[in-house]
Amino acid sequence: MKLSREINAFMQRLGHEFDRPELLLRALTHPSIATPARPDNQRFEFLGDRVLGLVMAEALLAADKTAREGQLAPRFNALVRKETCAEIARAIDLGAVLRLGRSEMISGGRRKQAILGDAMEAVIAAVYLDSGFNVARDVILTLWGDRITQVEADSRDAKTLLQEWAQARGMALPDYTEAARSGPDHAPVFTIDVRLENGATAQATAGSKRQAEQQAASALLAFLDRPE
């Protein structure tokens, strides 16, 4: 199969040359451009998430032989979450080779965190299917690099931290509500409100509900941490 110069350059950035490049092409195919003859990358995303998880679990156990499960779990979550996968995708310019439909290209799909994170997981699956677990592990460990050993001991996300803040004070769980939704169906923008039982609130807007919730939780934590 003859590949474009861009795809060959991406394989160099990824650190893996495919024996079956059709696997990589599928991993790069977003649902917005998929057809019956050109399947999208969602099944690969599912598999890649599991491969990444096993690699990170092994790596964390090897990096800290005394850590308890309660210490390892937040580190693990920090390393495998979509935000981190998107960071890795940006570092190797995965967005430049994504196969997107016209609407996604117009709306900036090559820069969207959710699309990049999903595609990174799909590419991991493609490497695994192409050359097996050991090669996939080597690629992942190289790409994640020092993140594995430098991940903070307390790497809980903002929603988890806010939940624990509330529970420690005998409050109900934070309440997240969708305050507004705008933009076209293919590129919605969500505004999320978060409220605590004591009346403290914050709001954030992002391209996904999950991201908006995290940003709202982070904003509320920053407000709660302000000196009196």
Catalytic residue annotation = 49, 121
In a 10 Å sphere around its CB, with 0-12 CB exposed, 13-18 middle and 19+ buried, how is residue 144 labelled? buried
Pairing label, strands 201-206, 175-182: unpaired
**Buried/exposed code over 152-183 (b: 16+ C-beta within 10 A; e: otherwise):** eeebbbbbebbbebbeeeeeeebebeeeeeee
**Can you state the angle between helices 113-131 and 42-63, rounded to 10 degrees?**
80
> What's the rounded Cα separation, in Å, for the pair 5 and 61?
39
Fill in the amino acid letter for 11: M
> What's the rounded Cα separation, in Å, for the pair 119 and 44?
9
124: tokens are: 């991991």
Judge contact between 132 and 16, C-beta under 8 A: no
